[in-house]
Chains A and B, each alone.
Chain A
């Protein structure tokens, strides 16, 4: 174990976040590394200072009332707004929505790419995870073209069963599987090869009524297709064509 490595492990140890095996490994390292012992002591005293300095700042007294008032008035407003609207107005509203959808669609990627906030976090995570997976050694946790190797590998690592299928005869050869983290939970990623390109398919159980990921789009040269079927959410991402991604997603959802 090099000391650089244990400098990051040291923090996991300090925070009680290492699994027992790695914690034990680190404790063994501590026995022989005076540098780490010193650093651990310093970090402990730094933490003690931070915690005793009363840096936590509570919300000002009136904030809670302000928030409740604003929520109540926002709600009352929307009540008033909708209850007496005559039917022809609904038609106008529907027409406006059609126009909006069209504009949003045509405006397309630029609007989506520029939007920030919770909605985009999940998509950004998918794209980042895809880019990371293409770096050497990150593509698969289990490398196998055999679905009977890949599928059982996920057992006990997830609380659901991802649909794993080798689709070589359809032009998508199974490369393997991997665990990734999306929105704070572990999800299955199936890796397929298509003419020397890799496709990552993220699969996780439906967690929200409406999706935070747009159905399709391109960012940084990567194309994604997002869809749902059988209580699962699928997001396939790659630099292959959208049509290929569509085919793959559909095959997986059969």
Chain B
């Protein structure tokens, strides 16, 4: 009756699921737009995953874990930052760093920062597919499983998300010609 997992289960969990904690953290960090919150939610999600682990029938452990992380993130956002879920485009984040002042231009010159702001200004449903595809290298099938949508929806969501990102970037680069979304000036980090 006791819901105690055998010690072999814990070993299996540490072998199959724990190696994906970077993926879990990165995904949470981008969904929550904060490292500190991502750390809390990742920890909570990993412990939750451990409790669900008996329900895991082999297969893609990363996708399985990321599905749990995603749910934990959306639950957290609903509770703590519901506005994130309804904001279509976060102009505040975008504007912070895209003015025409010399300082802003200097900031924009840092490509990582520039891309980070642009990505963070997208709504979470667009952001998550981009992060899963471009940073995590997930296939459409994996993204469909993680986000609980049909595979066909993945392609259209991704198309919309990339077009949005392109728009944000071309607007904030200002001087860059329309249609040249990103300057590749090799900004060192």
The residues of A with any CB-CB pair to B shorter than 8 Å are: 7-12, 15, 17, 38, 42-43, 45-51, 53-60, 63-64, 66-68, 70-72, 74-75, 78-79, 81-82, 90, 116-118, 121-122, 124-125, 129, 180-181, 183-184, 207-210, 212
Contacts and interface: CB of A to CB of B under 8 A. Distances in A.
Nearest to B24: A59
Nearest to A180: B150
Contacts of B180: 42
A67 B28 CA distance: 15
Contacts of A67: 18, 21, 43, 46-47
A116 B47 contact: no
Contacts of B29: 57
26 contacts: A7-B159, A10-B159, A17-B139, A38-B179, A42-B181, A46-B181, A49-B182, A53-B189, A55-B112, A55-B116, A58-B25, A59-B21, A59-B25, A59-B26, A59-B39, A63-B25, A63-B39, A64-B18, A67-B46, A70-B47, A71-B10, A75-B4, A116-B71, A121-B67, A121-B71, A210-B55
Contacts of B51: 74
A51 B43 CA distance: 26
Nearest to A71: B50
B135 interface: yes
Given A15-B140, A67-B46, A49 B184 contact: yes
Contacts, number: 154
Given A15-B140, A208-B57, A49 B148 contact: no
Interface string B50-80: 1110110100000100011001001100100
B153 to A, nearest CB: 9
Interface residues of B, number: 68
Given A54-B112, A57-B29, A183-B145, A118 B21 contact: no
Contact of A49 (B43, B54, B111, B163): B111
A11 B162 contact: yes
Contacts of A82: 1-2, 4
B121 interface: no
B151 A181 contact: yes
The interface residues of chain B, by DSSP majority, are classed as helix
B91 interface: no
A181 B144 contact: yes
Contacts of B169: 46
Contact of A183 (B46, B47, B71, B148): B148
B162 A53 contact: no
User: Which of B50, B51, B165 gathers most chain A CB within 10 Å?
Assistant: B50
Contacts of B25: 57-60, 63
A95 B97 CA distance: 60
Leading 6 A-B pairs by shortest Cβ distance: A184-B145, A59-B25, A82-B2, A49-B182, A11-B159, A121-B148
Contacts of A129: 150
A88 B148 CA distance: 44
Interface string B131-164: 0011100011110110010110001101100110
A46 B166 contact: yes
Given A46-B166, A82-B4, A209-B54, A60 B145 contact: no
